[in-house]
Structure 1
Amino acid sequence: MSRRLIATMIVFFILLGLFVFAVIREEHRNMEQLRKEYPELSQDAFNLRSDALKLWAIRLPLVFILPLLLLFTGFAQRVSVFAGERFGMAISGLVVGLAIFGVVYLINLPLSFYSSFILRHRYGLTDQTLLRWLELSLKGFLINKGILALFIWIPYMIIQWRPDGWWLPMGVLAVPVAIFMVFISPIVIDPVFNNYSQLPQGQLREDMEFLLQRGGIGDAEIYVVDKSRDTNTMNAYMTGILSGKRIVFWDTTLNNLQEEEVLSIAAHEMGHYIRGHIWKGILAGSAGIFLVLYLMNISANWILGASGGVFGFRNIYNYASLPLLLLLLNLFLFLGNPVTNGISRYFEREADLYQISLAQDRESAVTAMTKLYEKSLGLPRPSELYKFWYSSHPPIEERIDFYRTEEFITFGGEES
C-alpha cells in the first residue's frame, strides 16, 4: 500500500477527530448560553442533548472505520470468493450484500438499541416494548438492506461493463429508481412498519378538507398513523406525488394539539407540496447522485491503484469492493451535508411562510411548534457549526420569530 494512501487515511481521521471535538465543544458552549437565556428549560433536555452528542461522536467515525475493517481484514474478499465459487452473479451479490450489510447491522445494533430504546425510555420519549423495537429493527434491515442486496448485481453488472465510466449509466438508472420509490414508498413500504387509516369523519376532517381545497390539492388523502406505539413525540408529513399524494399525521399529534394547531401544521406540510419541494428535491438529489457517483468512481480507482492489492482484489467490479463503495458513499454524503441541509432549511422556511399565509393564524403556528419541541425535549437552537452541518430545519427560536414577524403572502406570491 502506497505511503500516499496511508497518509491520506491518517490525515482524514485526524481531521474527523478535530471536527468531532469542535462540534462537541461548540454544542456545550451553546448549551451553557441557553441555560442563561432560557432558565425554564428542563434539565432533561440538556441531558438528552449531551447523551445524543456522545452517541454521535461514536457513530460518526464508525461509518468509516467499519468498511475499512471489512476491507483490511479480508472479510469482504473471502465472502466474495465463497459466493463466487458456488453461485451465479445475482445470488452471489445477494450473499455478499447480506453478509456485509449484516455484519455492519450487528455491530451497530448495541448503539442503535441504546439510542432508540434505552435513552428514549429514560427520557420518557417512548413507551415502546422491546418486542416492538426488535420488530421494527429487523423489518428495517430486511426491507432496506435486503432489497438492496437482492438487486446489487445490477450496479455491479454496470461497473463490469464500464469499469472506468460506470458512474454515468448508474446515475441514469438511479434517478428513475428514486422517483419510483417516491411513488411506492407511501403505499407499499410505509404500511409495513405502521398501521395507516383515514382520518375519521368529523369537524377536524371537514376543516382539513377545506384547507386542502384552498391550497388546490383537494384530492390528497388524509391519513393517521399509529406512531404512539413507538414514540410520544409528534410529527406530520406530506408525501407522494400526483394521485398518490397524502398528508399523514402521527396519532400523537392529533392527541396532543388543539384543532387550530393541527390545521396550522397541515398548512405547513401542504406548503412543501405546493412549493414543489418534492420535485425540487428529486432534481437536486438527481444532480447529487451523478456528482457523488462520479467522485466515488475517481476515488475508488485511485484507492485500488494505491492499495497494492492489500484488500485481496484489484478490480472495482469485484463484489469485495462493496465496503469500499460504502466507505466512499458515506464520505461524500457526509461532506455534502451542509449543502443538502441548507437546501432543506430553505424549503422549511418556504413552507413556514405558506403555513402562516394559508391558515392566517400566527399564534397557532407558534404554539404548535413550541409543543412539538417541548414534547421531544428539543433545545431552542443548536450551535452554528452543528446547524450548518446537520440541521435540516431552522432552529425553533428562529421559526417562532419568523411566524410572528414575516409578512403574509398571497398564493400568487405577492405580499398582501
Structure 2
Amino acid sequence: MDKKVMIFFSLFFTILILFILIIFISEYKNMEELREEYSYISEEAFSYKKTNLKIWAVNLILTFIIPFLILKTGLSNKIKIFAQSKTSNQFFIIAIYVLIYFLIDFIVTLPLSYYSSFVVKHRYGLSNQTFGRWAELLFKNFSLNFVLILGFTWFPFYLIYKIPNKWWLYLGLLSIPISIFVSFISPMYIDPLFNKYTAIEDKELEREIRTLLDKAGVGDANIYQVNKSVDTKEMNAYMTGVLKSKRIVLWDTTINNLTREEVVSITAHEIGHYVKGHIWKSIVLGSAFLTLILFLINKTSLWILNGSNGYFGFRHLYDIASLPLLIFVISIYMFFTSPITSTYSRKLEWEADTFELELARNKEATASSLLKLHEGSLSLPRPSKIYKIWYYSHPSCEERVKFALDYEYKNKLP
C-alpha cells in the first residue's frame, strides 16, 4: 500500500481520537458550569448525559472501524468471492454481499444498540418498552433497511460501472425525485409499520389545530396521534409528508403530559416548517450538497484505491468489494460536514420558532413546552459550544426559551 494512503488512515484516526477527547473535556466543563447556574438540574440528568457521551464515542469509532477492518483485512474481497461462488447473476452477487456485510455490522453493533436503546433508557426511566417490543422494532428496522440499502446499493454500482466519470452527478440529480417520492410514501406506508396511528381523540385540540392550519394557509392536512407510550415516556410532535400525504402527528405522550395550549404551540412550530418550505428547501439544497459530496467521495475513493496497489483485493470502484471503502469515505465527509448541516438545521429551527410565536401567540406556552420536553427527556439546558456546532440540529433549550420570552410580536405572520 502506498505510504501516502497509510498516512491518510493514520492521520484520520488520530484526528478522530483527539476530537473525542476535546468533546469529552468541553462537555464535562460545560456540565460543571451548568451545576453552578442551574441548581434544579438533577444529578440523574448529568449522569444520563455522561452515559450518552460514552455511547456516542463508541458509536463514532465503530462507524469508521467496521468498514476499515473489513476492507484492510481483505474480508470484503472474500465476501465477494463467496457471493460469486453462489451465482453468476450480478444483482444476486450484490444482494448476497450486502446481506453478509450488514449482518456483520448488525452483529458487531448489536450489544451497544441493546445497551443504549433498551438498558440505558430503562435505567433512567425513559422507556416503557418490553424486550419483545424492542426486538420486534429491531427486526423490522433491519429488514426494511436491508431492502432499501439493497435497492440503493445496486443502482449506484451500476452507474459507477456505466459512467465512471459522471456517476456522482447523475446520482446527485436523481436524489431529488427519490427524496420527494420517499417523503410522499413514508408517512402513509412506512411509518405505520412501527406504530399505530389513529385519529386524534381530543376533538377540541383537533379543532384548535385546524384553526392554526387555516390561519397559516396550509389547507387540509390529516391530524393523527401515535401510540408512542408503548415505547417511550419522552414527547414529540412533527409535521411530515408532501402534497396529499402531509400530516401532523402528535405522540400520545405529548398529548397526555402537556397542556392543550402547550400542544398547540408545539404544533404551530411544526406547521412553520411546512409553511416556510423547509421540506422542499432541504430536498433541493440537500441534493446540491449531496452532488458535491459525491464528487469528493469519488475523487477520494479513487485516490485511496489507486494508492492501495491491489492491497484490498480489488482495483475498480464498481467492484462490490469496494462498498466498505465507499462507506468509510462517506462517513468521513459526513463527519467533517456535520457543522454545515447542523448550522443550516438550526437556522430552519429559528425560523419555525419565530413562526410558532406569531401563529400561536402564546410565549408562555412556548417556553413551558420547551422546558417540559427537555426535562422529560433528561436533556440539559445547553451543550458545549463545539458539541453544538458539530451535532446540535436545534438551538439549545436555554436559547429557545429566552428567545420566546423576550419575543416581540409583529402585526402579521412572518
Q: TM-score, normalised by structure 2?
A: 0.98
Contact 1:98 1:146 (8 Å CA) reproduced: no
Aligned residue for 2:15?
15
Distance 1:210 1:106 in 2: 49
Name the amino acid aligned to 2:89.
G
Aligned residue for 2:28?
28
Name the amino acid aligned to 1:83.
A
Cα distance, 1:146 vs structure 2: 2.6
Name the amino acid aligned to 1:37.
E
Aligned residue for 1:220?
221
Cα distance, 1:56 vs structure 2: 1.1
Aligned pair 1:368/2:369, yes or no?
yes
Write out aligned runs for 1:80-99 (5 A): 80-85=80-85, 86-99=87-100
Contact 1:354 1:409 (8 Å CA) reproduced: no
Count of aligned residue pairs for this structure pair: 413
Aligned pair 1:178/2:189, yes or no?
no
Distance 1:78 1:239 in 2: 42
Contact 2:67 2:324 (8 Å CA) reproduced: yes
Partner SS state of residue 364, structure 2: helix
Name the amino acid aligned to 1:49.
K
Aligned pair 1:317/2:318, yes or no?
yes
Aligned residue for 1:233?
234
1:8-31: CA deviations, max 9, x gaps? Answer: 111111111111000100000000
Write out aligned runs for 1:6-405 (5 A): 6-85=6-85, 86-200=87-201, 202-405=203-406
Distance 2:123 2:59 in 1: 20
Cα distance, 1:201 vs structure 2: 5.7
Cα distance, 1:178 vs structure 2: 1.6
1:295-339: CA deviations, max 9, x gaps? Answer: 110011000000111110000010001111111111111111101
Distance 1:233 1:379 in 2: 14
Distance 2:412 2:150 in 1: 45
C-alpha change, 1:328 and 1:409, in structure 2 (3 Å) is farther
Name the amino acid aligned to 1:245.
K
Distance 2:45 2:33 in 1: 14
Name the amino acid aligned to 2:248.
I
Deviates more, 1:336-345 or 1:195-204: 195-204
Q: TM-score, normalised by structure 1?
A: 0.97
1:147-198: CA deviations, max 9, x gaps? Answer: 2114522211111012233211222222211221111111111111111111
1:58-88: CA deviations, max 9, x gaps? Answer: 1111111100111112221112122234141
Contact 1:90 1:151 (8 Å CA) reproduced: no
Cα distance, 1:410 vs structure 2: 4.4
Distance 1:412 1:371 in 2: 26
Partner SS state of residue 379, structure 1: coil
Distance 1:410 1:319 in 2: 58
Name the amino acid aligned to 1:163.
P
Contact 2:265 2:362 (8 Å CA) reproduced: yes
Cα distance, 1:128 vs structure 2: 0.4
Partner SS state of residue 336, structure 1: helix
C-alpha change, 1:72 and 1:266, in structure 2 (3 Å) is same
Partner SS state of residue 247, structure 1: strand
Partner SS state of residue 152, structure 1: helix
Contact 1:348 1:394 (8 Å CA) reproduced: yes
How much identity, in percent, do the aligned residues show? 45
Distance 1:267 1:412 in 2: 12
Cα distance, 1:202 vs structure 2: 2.0
Partner SS state of residue 367, structure 2: helix
Distance 1:401 1:203 in 2: 30
Partner SS state of residue 223, structure 2: strand
1:269-318: CA deviations, max 9, x gaps? Answer: 00101111111111121112101110110011000000111110000010
Deviates more, 1:289-298 or 1:137-146: 137-146
Structure 2 gaps, min length 5: none
Distance 2:6 2:152 in 1: 33
Name the amino acid aligned to 1:273.
Y
Contact 1:353 1:409 (8 Å CA) reproduced: no
Contact 1:353 1:408 (8 Å CA) reproduced: no
Partner SS state of residue 248, structure 1: strand
Contact 2:355 2:413 (8 Å CA) reproduced: no
Distance 2:152 2:300 in 1: 24
Partner SS state of residue 250, structure 2: strand
Distance 1:377 1:88 in 2: 51
C-alpha change, 1:256 and 1:412, in structure 2 (3 Å) is closer
